[in-house]
Structure 1
Amino acid sequence: MEEKRRILVIGTGDTKADELLFMRERIEAVGGVAVMMDVSVLGDPPYRPEHDRHAVAKAAGRTVEAIIASGDENTAMTLMALGASRLARSLHDEGNIEGFIALGGTMGTDLALDVALALPLGVPKFVVSTIAYSHLVPPERIATDLMMILWAGGLYGLNSACKAVLSQACGAVVGAARAVVKPDRSRPRIGMSSLGKSCLQYMVTLKPELEKRGYEVIVFHTTGMGGRALEAIAAQKGFVAVLDFSLQELANQLTGSVVNSGTDRLENAGRQGIPQIVAPGAIDMVDFPTWQAVPSRFTERPYHAHNRLLASVTSDGATRQEIARAIGEKLATATGATAFILPVGGIQQWDQEGEPLHEPEALAAFVEEMRVRVPDNAELHEIAGHINDAAFSAKALEIFDRWVAEGIVPPGVTGRRAA
């Protein structure tokens, strides 16, 4: 028979014992094993968890009494989140859990998000929350492969609506733990950012070329959470190199759009010393929800509704100069090899002559500002053409191959079939 998957169940057992015990029962009913972790601060649960609140506090380098005396409830739960994250990661690394599920309102969700971030990609992560998918949750708090479900009817006690949600979540995390194909680390991984193929086309050339060289190329769709995933994996040193060629999320964040990846976009590869080649793909476009009014600063700018969810406007020259300054500041913090490719002929498909977003003056303002903002620790490579031209991809491969030859990027694993 298939080995049962062990699922870490986290919650405050002093206030949510009925719900957590129901979750344990449902996990076991579908062939899993529930490993209970109690993160209560003020009291013990009416059951014996495998990992009690004292063990969680110890993992944070504290005692429960010290945590209670540390200040307000926010401070206490932040310390418990630290302990729960460390303990959960240790349980995973020792092979004692294959999945994770947590239950909570705002306090429990706050803690659960830290635990999810502590676990690597490929470990099923499920959070049952009263604020699932809420804008209260900033992008940088969301783990790469986090799954969430709204804890409908779950504020106080069990009921039929609550049981329906909890049972789905328990079945989902057990099923995910059974079905997951964990990341293959046999080939060095490269992270690449892009938008849809109609906007940015370099991935069509670069991906097969890099695969021929023995690398796995993971392309991230930069519509908010794609860039978040790239940053999260980079923060855990999950790439041997990053080709970050679509920076629209950075432009979105600077201009106040919710379609962003957090304040640390374009920072984690550099912070971890991962070699990175960067280009300003699509920084001239700002996204926002189609169902919201156009932001006041963009009401006079060209507008395009991509679908009923996502719309875009273009930024003016002054805004693009602001974006260039931000790119330069972020590149300056890099501790690894960094190169910046500046395609002076355009940075997305529709900014070319004859296309609807062709604004040569605004593009020129960005190019001039970017030339002086690339920091001394980064190579500047200027090409006369467009980001979608063959010359751009050729320049990226030229830099990459040189870095491999110089030992900056490890060689790929050739002689095996690409996944």
Structure 2
Amino acid sequence: MTTEAKGLKDEPRILMIGTGDTKADELLFMRERIEAVGGRAVMMDVSVLGDPPYVPDHDRHAVAAAAGTTIEAIAASGDENTAMTLMAKGAANLARSLHERCAIDGMIALGGTMGTDLALDVALALPLGVPKFVVSTIAYSHLVPPERIAGDLMMILWAGGLYGLNGACKAVLSQACGAVVGAAKAAVVPPADRPVIGMSSLGKSCLAYMVTLKPELERRGYEVVVFHTTGMGGRALEAIAAQRGFAAVFDLSLQELANHHAGSVVSSGADRLENAGRAGIPQIVAPGAVDMVDFPTWQPVPPRFAERPYHAHNRLLASVTSDGPTRREIARAIGAKLAGATAPTAFILPAGGIQQWDQQGEPLHEPDALTAFVDEMRAAVPGSVEMHEVAGHINDPAFAAKALEIFDRWVAEGIVAPGVRKGEAAA
């Protein structure tokens, strides 16, 4: 069977990014490994002070030009942070242009903190589905804020890579090269045959609405992508929304917003609940699970939550509930973010509860704190947003029915593009 019959891409072109003036040995080894496993390296040099001992496909002058400046101006810009930020801008712009011209099929970057800083911008410039791999001395570190991480970014620790090639370094670099080539060969580009709906949820047991909404929206001719709001799920939703990748968003689980408000590392970044509105995407919003704050189980309970109801989901993730005053703060934060939306936005407030375990008889049932949140939320929703209140719980059928009622009206009014059912051609 041919590779074409298998759906595999022959000789994928991998954009390889690094500072060739200081890491030529590593980069040339990576080029050799990429070509050994059936890829083709497209080398981009992001050096500032010198040229590499090889001829890159895109040299540092081209990178600087893509940032709207010259390499001489970047070198004289003042300090290494300013210089590398400008090179990051150029590298991201150039990578985006190469992808739009169908000149690359994936990217891999190599670096310490400086190179990783640049590589994160490049990865964010490429859409979901383009393989992205960063070999970094700070892979998976808390130095990397969630808003800098592309939703499908892959990382590996550059073990033994501080200075020169060695056995450990070669083992890591060869794995990374094989991984990105394999990903580029096997990658399936997201189809554009139906409008895409982005939806947030926190698991089926905590928030059950997706069980109803997903098949109903698919029946209407939409593809539905559900994001698990445990930090990076919300980050992926925000990143795709920022690139205008959705026809509409059902952002019904805002638990990551509460995490960020509380200073938890289980965060999607400061811009959670902002990108769809900023990009002009219609959105239906609800406060699912926003009464809980997550933090690592392996860390002590934050002092401010020491007396709150606590639940360890597993050895990685634990939760506590917020008290009434904190829930009022969160309600106001939600309202402020909704006020920035530039497209039709509807907010559904389920007054009977916002996650499975806050109901009567459940361990997180706190009616006074829920009442405080509901009262504050009624006042916090700005006048520019449609306000809909349902008396029941977020997991009740009436909640999902209200969301579909709003959505169907928006489709009828032309606010949301119509779906494409089987047998129909995409517009």
Normalised by the shorter chain, which TM-score bucket? over 0.9
Report the CA distance between 1:371 and its aligned residue: 0.2
Letter in 2 for 1:47: Y
The answer for unaligned runs of 5 or more in structure 1 is: none
Partner of 2:417: 410
Report the CA distance between 1:185 and its aligned residue: 1.3
Q: Report the Cα distance in structure 1 between the residues aligned to 2:226 and 2:202, rounded to whole angstroms.
A: 9
Residue 309 (str. 1) matches residue 316 (str. 2): yes
Q: Report the Cα distance in structure 2 between the residues aligned to 1:410 and 1:32, rounded to whole angstroms.
A: 39
Residue 30 (str. 1) matches residue 37 (str. 2): yes
SS in 1 for 2:107: strand
Letter in 2 for 1:67: I
Partner of 1:73: 80
Partner of 2:295: 288
- Residue 358 (structure 2) aligned to one of 351, 356, 360: 351
Partner of 1:165: 172
SS in 2 for 1:404: helix
Partner of 1:189: 196
Residue 335 (str. 1) matches residue 342 (str. 2): yes
Letter in 2 for 1:389: D
SS in 2 for 1:413: coil
Matches within 5 A, 1:163-312: 163-312=170-319
String of CA shifts for 1:325-371, please: whole Å, max 9, x gaps.
Answer: 00000000000000000000000000001111000000000000000
Q: In the comparison of the two structures, how many residue pairs are matched?
A: 417
Residue 121 (str. 1) matches residue 118 (str. 2): no
SS in 2 for 1:231: helix
Partner of 1:152: 159
Q: CA RMSD in A?
A: 0.8
55 and 270 in structure 1: CA distance in 2 versus 1, 3 angstrom threshold = same
SS in 1 for 2:40: strand
When the two structures are superposed, what TM-score results if normalisation uses the length of structure 1?
A: 0.99
Report the CA distance between 1:167 and its aligned residue: 0.1
String of CA shifts for 1:143-170, please: whole Å, max 9, x gaps.
Answer: 0100000000000000000000000000
Report the CA distance between 1:415 and its aligned residue: 2.3
When the two structures are superposed, what TM-score results if normalisation uses the length of structure 2?
A: 0.97
Residue 360 (str. 1) matches residue 399 (str. 2): no
Q: Report the Cα distance in structure 2 between the residues aligned to 1:204 and 1:106, rounded to whole angstroms.
A: 42
String of CA shifts for 1:256-305, please: whole Å, max 9, x gaps.
Answer: 10001000000000001100000000001000000000000000000000
Report the CA distance between 1:416 and its aligned residue: 4.5
- Residue 327 (structure 2) aligned to one of 282, 297, 320: 320
Q: Report the Cα distance in structure 2 between the residues aligned to 1:273 and 1:96, rounded to whole angstroms.
A: 30
String of CA shifts for 1:20-63, please: whole Å, max 9, x gaps.
Answer: 00000000010110110000000000111011000100111111
- Range with bigger deviation, 252-261 or 87-96: 87-96
Task: List, as ranges, runs of 4+ consecutive aligned residues in structure 1 with deviation greater than 3 Å.
Answer: none
Residue 392 (str. 1) matches residue 399 (str. 2): yes
Q: Report the Cα distance in structure 2 between the residues aligned to 1:33 and 1:144, rounded to whole angstroms.
A: 25
Partner of 2:6: none
SS in 1 for 2:267: coil
String of CA shifts for 1:358-402, please: whole Å, max 9, x gaps.
Answer: 000000000000000000110000010000000000000000000
The answer for unaligned runs of 5 or more in structure 2 is: 4-9
Sequence identity, in percent? Answer: 82
Letter in 2 for 1:234: A
Letter in 2 for 1:223: T
Q: Report the Cα distance in structure 2 between the residues aligned to 1:89 and 1:191, rounded to whole angstroms.
A: 23
- Residue 57 (structure 2) aligned to one of 41, 50, 53: 50
Q: Report the Cα distance in structure 2 between the residues aligned to 1:59 and 1:286, rounded to whole angstroms.
A: 42
SS in 2 for 1:287: strand
Matches within 5 A, 1:59-138: 59-138=66-145
Q: Report the Cα distance in structure 2 between the residues aligned to 1:415 and 1:102, rounded to whole angstroms.
A: 41
Residue 16 (str. 1) matches residue 23 (str. 2): yes
